Structures are given as structure tokens and as C-alpha cells.
Chain A
Amino acid sequence: MAYLDHAASTPMLPEAVATVTAALTAALSSAGNASSLHAGGRQARRIVEESREQLAGALGARPSEIVFTGSGTESDNLAVKGIWWARRAADPRRIRILASAVEHHAVLDAVEWLATHEGATVDWLEVDAHGRLHPGALRQAIERDPSDVALVTVMWANNEVGTVQPIRELADVAHEYDLPLHSDAVQAVGQLPVDVAACGVDALTLTGHKFGGPLGVGALVLGRDVACVPLLHGGGQERDVRSGTLDTPAVAGLAVAASLAVQRQPALHARLSTMRDDLVRRVQLAVPDAVLNGAVGPDGLPGPDRLPGNAHFSFPGCEGDSLLLLLDARGVEVSTGSACSAGVARPSHVLLAMGADENAARSSLRFSLGHSSTTADVDALLDALPAVVERAQRAALPAVRR
């Protein structure tokens, strides 16, 4: 089995498994709720708070800025809706959201929901053919009326094509106008240097299972001075912004994984980008008309503004889901990069925003490498790919033939 879908979920680090297991064993034997006042509760709370400090340390944030959540999606929803509500409450004119056109659905749909149900107005900020949002485009959108903007939300790195946004510069522009910037950094943590203090974002989303932590736990790094209305009401466990008893073992696993992933990030970046460039070169040799999407350098290889583990291609004349099925049958696990809840592959809004036509958008595959990737995975992909592409091209013909 060759797993080339680390951007969807990457295996847990053994250290994180050990931490979760130990915390789970302790939690189950002592039944500690981190909100309880007795010794068992204090023990659980201690694990949570040490995890909070560990995670903050890994991200250049302060412990008080860490809000643990149940997922990246929850963090995105909390940031987008919560900050929007708070900004509008403080100044009813501030209803406009500026968001890049290539956001993950967790942001995109939260923004759309605010537009449909709460009267938000939205500017979807255009990206270039590589998927990059230029700070000038953000400035232009703000300048239309700086007084009505509630927040700016731009992902750190795109989950489909891997394009890395100039977050520092975007944050500078937003801050010139005193606007808060949220960034979905789900794909970035562990693959790129992410330092909250240095980059200046006001809110940042991350989730455990993208960097070797457990599933079902995420965090929102929320600046101390950023007002945010809760989505979940109750005990107010997380800074009164998020309620719900914390999953102590998962929180501990998340923090350990984040700490290790950040520590190993420079080495991982070097190793993955070399392996990924090799993958790209070999795909281009095997399938000469394959088109590399996302940030591309002058040599036709992935540019520097791309996640090190990401390679995203369009295979003209093929349908992405045919390619996926045929590769899956040969033990190679990849993704078309976008899926709706019924499991239907739709043309990716990311590629469409980058100017691709619907056919190109339907013909794409994402290969994503992670900490457990080996050259054998790349070999397995390349062993299967030429025959798979040829067959998928034939399978696409009947649809055209009618």
C-alpha cells in the first residue's frame, strides 16, 4: 500500500500515540474532568494546561491564546462567525468579510452562511493562476470602504494545490486598517514554519491529525485582544469562548505531536521537497501532457511558495475519479483534492478560481507526502500511473462520445 494522501490525514506519531494512551489510561482510571475541583480533576487540568503551554510554545503563541476545539472545521467556524459577530456587535456597519476565493469549505461555507443568514456581505478575493492572493488585491478590497470590514480570512497554505500565501504581508495590510486577520493554517503546521507572534495573525486554525496528532481535536489560536462570540454555550471551559469538557488525552496528544512536528519541520521540509520534486519530475516524464497546478518555478518544477509534500496535477482527457479508482485498485491511495459529503467529486472551486476550466478541474489528482512517506511510495505511484492514465483516458471517451 502506498499512501499519498497525507494532506487528508497523516499517521499519528508514535510519541503521540504513547501520550494519548498514557493519558487515556490515567483518565479512565481516575475519571478526571478537567473542570472538576478534586484531585482527579486537578490532574486532568494539569495535563490540559501543560499541553496548552506546550502547544503555545511550539507556535510562538501565549498559552492564554490557545483555545482547544474539536476540529479544524470548528476552529474555522468559531473564528469566522465568532469574530464577525463580535465586530458587528461593536460596530453595526462592520459586516463585510474579505476572504480568498480558495478557502477550505470550513471557511467558505461559514462565510456563505453568514451572508445568507446574518446579512454579511462578502468579497471573494481573486487569486492568480498559481492560487496566490496578492497583498495589493487585499488592500484594494479594503480601500473600497475600510469602515465596513469585519474581518479578513486567508488560509496559510491551500489544501488542494499547496500554494502558500504571503501571510505576513497580508497581516500587515489588514493591520494598517486595524482589521483582524484569521488564517486557516491546518495544512501549514508541521510542514512550514508557523510562528504566531512573528506573522501577526489575530486568529489561527490548526488540527491535530494533519501533523501526527489524534483525530477529533483542534485548536484556535486567538489573540488576547480579539473579541469572539462563542458558537457553543455552556461551561465556558475555554476562555469563555468555547464550552464542552475537553478530551484530555487528545489534547495531550495534539500538543506532543505539534511540539515534535515543529521541531522536525526544517528536516521534514528538506526531505519532502526533494522527494516531491522527484515525484513531479517522474510524473512529467511518464505523462508528458500532465499539468502541474499551483506554484511552479521557472524550471517547471514546484516553486518555493508550495507545501513541501504537495504535488497537484491535471491529467488532460482523464476524470479524476477514474484515476483515483484505478490507482486505488493498485494499492496507491491519492485524492482528487475535493469531495462533497456524498463522496461525489465536484470540479474544485480552487482550480476554477485559479482560472482552470471545468474539464481541467475534473481531471486533477493531488499527491501529498508526509512524515512517513518513503521513496517506495513514489515508486509505487510511478509504476502504476502510466497505464492508469491511459485507461482513464479511454474511460473518459464514452462520456464525450454520447
Chain B
Amino acid sequence: MKLLAALSGGVDSAVAAALAVEAGHDVTGVHLALSSAPATLRTGSRGCCSKEDARDASRVADVLGIPFYVWDLAERFRADVVDDFVSEYAAGRTPNPCLRCNERIKFAAVLDRARALGFDAVVTGHHARLAGGELRRSVDLDKDQSYVLAVLRPDQLAGTVLPLGRLTKVQVRAEAAARGLAVADKPDSHDVCFIADGDTAGFLRGRLGSQPGPVVDALTGAVVGGHDGAYGFTIGQRRGLALTVPAPDGRPRYVLSVEPVSRTVTVGPGQALDVQQVRADRPLWLAPSALPLTCEVQLRAHGAVHSCVVHEDGAGWRLELATPARGIAAGQAAVLYQGDRVLASATIS
């Protein structure tokens, strides 16, 4: 096949491209420039957008002997991922920007362009297995990324090659070292790639400005503190609440809800975060199944898996969980699994 390998400059995409080349495919490498003002050098763990990463990616292509280009997707990324991230927080939801990037950039803008240019599919270094249209968890459950790929439509998955699903991260690094790829020891990237210092609340404050409002205790209804912007809070958050009135029972309080219009952040005891029923909208099926359906659900990236029964609820789902889940945030994806196989995804509302 004629494949386009997305090379971030990290070890996973490097090994994925190497495996594709060794499998006999005709591979071309591209690095996606996602920032219009890339930093010169990588800082800390946020590694995907610096010129140093672009150079690392080009060195991978050199070693593999494949053509290499940089595609400027900064404008699309800003509109579809960064602005979406900000407006979701502004609306009181908790977005997952990696998932949005997969859905709108890597497996949409890039895949569309690749196909139009004559490529059959895009190769990425995501940790998940994909065969015969079935998406499964990686054998390395710690690194599994099937959750952030579950939002892809079948036609997007049909244009996707994931060579790493049968390798653990340790094996991936060993494969990189064995091929003389200099990125073998490069630290893993995590956190939100476009927030350079990792300060999400500060980033949002810069974009949304100060929007002071009350922090209300769910049990007493009393105002127990204030804040600069409700967007700085996530369901289940405990730290950084700066409450001025102690809880009647003296126990820690958590963010229970964020209401952007009245700018009200409601706090309460941890057990109030426990839910056994979750609503989700805009379902997308990879393995169409009849409802009600007994399966497992994952409600956030790297989150626990709950047994559940999925019921039809209007255009969406009502999930009845067998065990309570804590701190479920609107905007995150609910991904249904049967064992290690992804069945469907929807957005928690």
C-alpha cells in the first residue's frame, strides 16, 4: 500500500513508520505543524509542536529512507482543537483535545488530504490494534489509546494503519533502538500539547478573561467561596478550591457541577460524585449492536472500566452502571467495550 506516516518526532510514530516500511509498504513521512509559532526547543513533557520535534521527525525519515514533508495544519488545529477546547470549558464541559485532534485533524484533514494525494491510508503510532475494521485495546494496557480512537467512523478507520498494537511501550523503545532511531530514549509526551507550561487554568484565563462567581455548598446551599472563572474547574476536582467556610461534617469537598451561565461552582461530599446512571449523546457504532446491551464502558482516558447495560434514550444512551463511577464529566467520551474490543462511543452529556 501507499501509506502516509504521521511522524510527531516521538518514538511511537517512528517505530510505526519503520514497521510499515519493513512490511513492504511505500511510505512517505509527514510532520504535522500544529502551532503557527513553534518553539525552537522542546520543553518538558509537552512534545509535539517544537522545531526540535520536526527535526527529530525528519531524522527518523532519513534513517528509514523515506520522503519527508511538513504539513502546516496550524490553522485547522487552532479552529478545531484549541478553540473547541476553550469553548467546551466555557460551556462547563471537560473536553479531551487528543480525541478531538484524532477526530478532526489526524484522521480527517490529514487522511482526506492523503487520500486525495493518492495514499491508501495513514499510519500512526497510536497504541491500539486495528484489523478487519475491529478496533481493540493495545496489549500494553497502560499505554492503550483505543479510547481516543473510538470516535473515528468506520470509513476513517478503513484509512488507518496502527502497527503498534501488539507491542508494549518497552518493546517499542527496543525496536527503535534496534533500528538506530535516535528517538528511542525520548521521553513520553503527555499533558495538553498546546499548553506549554501545563497550566490549563491559566491558559483558559488568558483566553476567557476573569469571570468571577460563587462557590456553593450543595448540602447547605450557602456560598462558601469565590472563583475567577468557572471554566477553571473540573468535576471531581478537590484541590485549589479556596473555600472560606468549612464543611459541616469537616470532610473534604469536591466539585460536583459547573454551571457556566450563572458561573456557579457547586461543591459537596465525595460520595455525591458517585453516579450509576450516565447519559451520552451522538453515539457512533463501530460494531453495531441491539439495545439494551450488556457490556463494559470507559468514561475517561485511562479511567476505570465499569460493567453496564446500555439503554436507548432518545437519540442517545442511558448507561446503567453495575458499580458507581466517580467524577464523570460532561464532554468526555463514553466508550463501550466488549473485552478488549471497541463497540461504540458517545459524548457524555
Q: Chain A residues in contact with chain B, CB under 8 A?
A: 321-322, 324-326, 328-329, 341-346, 391-392, 394-399, 401
Q: List 17 A-B contacts (CB under 8 A).
A: A321-B69, A321-B71, A322-B113, A326-B117, A328-B67, A329-B28, A342-B51, A342-B54, A342-B70, A343-B31, A343-B33, A344-B70, A345-B72, A392-B117, A396-B116, A397-B116, A399-B76
B24 contacts A by Cβ under 8 Å: no
Interface contact A342-B67, CB-CB below 8 Å: no
Interface contact B69-A343, CB-CB below 8 Å: yes
The residue in A322, A326, A395, A397 that gathers the most chain B C-beta atoms within 10 A of its C-beta is A395
The residue in A329, A344, A398 that gathers the most chain B C-beta atoms within 10 A of its C-beta is A344
B193 contacts A by Cβ under 8 Å: no
Q: Which 3 A-B pairs have the closest CB atoms?
A: A398-B112, A395-B116, A343-B70
- Alpha-carbon gap, A396 to B71, bound state (A): 13
Chain A residues positioned under 8 Å from B28 (CB to CB)? 325, 329
| Pick from A322, A341, A342, A401: contact of B117, CB under 8 Å | A322
- Alpha-carbon gap, A329 to B54, bound state (A): 21
In chain B, positions 164-178 with a C-beta closer than 8 Å to chain A are: none
Chain A residues positioned under 8 Å from B51 (CB to CB)? 341-342
Chain B residues positioned under 8 Å from A394 (CB to CB)? 116
Interface contact B67-A391, CB-CB below 8 Å: no
Interface contact B72-A391, CB-CB below 8 Å: no
Chain B residue at smallest Cβ distance from A326 = B117
- Alpha-carbon gap, A321 to B73, bound state (A): 12
**Interface digits, B112-152 against A, CB 8 Å rule (1 contact, 0 not)?**
11001110000000000000000000000000000000000
**Interface digits, B95-122 against A, CB 8 Å rule (1 contact, 0 not)?**
0000000000000010011001110000
Interface contact A398-B69, CB-CB below 8 Å: no
Decide yes or no: A325 and B117 within 8 Å by CB, A341-B51, A344-B33, A345-B72 being known contacts. yes
Chain B residues positioned under 8 Å from A396 (CB to CB)? 116
Interface contact A343-B58, CB-CB below 8 Å: yes
Minimum distance in angstroms from A26 CB to a CB of chain B: 34
B270 contacts A by Cβ under 8 Å: no
The residue in B28, B67, B113 that gathers the most chain A C-beta atoms within 10 A of its C-beta is B113
Chain A residue at smallest Cβ distance from B74 = A344
- Alpha-carbon gap, A345 to B69, bound state (A): 10
Minimum distance in angstroms from B162 CB to a CB of chain A: 22
In chain B, positions 319-334 with a C-beta closer than 8 Å to chain A are: none
Minimum distance in angstroms from A389 CB to a CB of chain B: 12
B38 contacts A by Cβ under 8 Å: yes
| Pick from B38, B112, B118: contact of A342, CB under 8 Å | B38
Interface contact B109-A398, CB-CB below 8 Å: yes
Minimum distance in angstroms from B15 CB to a CB of chain A: 22
Chain B residues positioned under 8 Å from A398 (CB to CB)? 109, 112-113, 116
Interface contact B72-A346, CB-CB below 8 Å: yes
Minimum distance in angstroms from B49 CB to a CB of chain A: 10
Chain B residue at smallest Cβ distance from A392 = B117
Chain B residue at smallest Cβ distance from A343 = B70
Decide yes or no: A395 and B54 within 8 Å by CB, A321-B69, A342-B33, A343-B70 being known contacts. no
Chain B residue at smallest Cβ distance from A322 = B117
- Alpha-carbon gap, A325 to B68, bound state (A): 9
- Alpha-carbon gap, A345 to B70, bound state (A): 8
- Alpha-carbon gap, A399 to B112, bound state (A): 8
Minimum distance in angstroms from B40 CB to a CB of chain A: 9
- Alpha-carbon gap, A348 to B112, bound state (A): 25
**Interface digits, B1-44 against A, CB 8 Å rule (1 contact, 0 not)?**
00000000000000000000000000010010100001000000
Known: A343-B54, A398-B116. 8 other contacts (CB 8 A): A326-B118, A344-B33, A344-B70, A394-B116, A395-B117, A396-B116, A397-B116, A399-B112
- Alpha-carbon gap, A346 to B38, bound state (A): 13
Chain B residues positioned under 8 Å from A399 (CB to CB)? 76, 109, 112-113
- Alpha-carbon gap, A391 to B28, bound state (A): 17
Chain B residues positioned under 8 Å from A391 (CB to CB)? 116-118
Chain A residue at smallest Cβ distance from B52 = A342
Chain A residues positioned under 8 Å from B76 (CB to CB)? 399
Minimum distance in angstroms from B283 CB to a CB of chain A: 23
Minimum distance in angstroms from B323 CB to a CB of chain A: 41
The residue in B67, B72, B74 that gathers the most chain A C-beta atoms within 10 A of its C-beta is B72
- Alpha-carbon gap, A324 to B113, bound state (A): 14
Chain B residues positioned under 8 Å from A395 (CB to CB)? 113, 116-117
Chain B residues positioned under 8 Å from A324 (CB to CB)? 69
Chain A residue at smallest Cβ distance from B70 = A343
Minimum distance in angstroms from B131 CB to a CB of chain A: 26
**Interface digits, B56-80 against A, CB 8 Å rule (1 contact, 0 not)?**
0010000000010111101010000
Chain B residues positioned under 8 Å from A346 (CB to CB)? 72
Minimum distance in angstroms from B74 CB to a CB of chain A: 8
Chain A residue at smallest Cβ distance from B117 = A395
Chain B residues positioned under 8 Å from A342 (CB to CB)? 33, 38, 51, 54, 70
Minimum distance in angstroms from A320 CB to a CB of chain B: 11
Minimum distance in angstroms from A343 CB to a CB of chain B: 4
Minimum distance in angstroms from B68 CB to a CB of chain A: 8
Interface contact A329-B67, CB-CB below 8 Å: yes
Chain B residue at smallest Cβ distance from A324 = B69
**Interface digits, B72-97 against A, CB 8 Å rule (1 contact, 0 not)?**
10101000000000000000000000
Minimum distance in angstroms from B138 CB to a CB of chain A: 29
Chain B residues positioned under 8 Å from A345 (CB to CB)? 72
- Alpha-carbon gap, A321 to B113, bound state (A): 12
Chain A residues positioned under 8 Å from B74 (CB to CB)? 344
Minimum distance in angstroms from A187 CB to a CB of chain B: 25
- Alpha-carbon gap, A179 to B103, bound state (A): 58
- Alpha-carbon gap, A325 to B119, bound state (A): 12
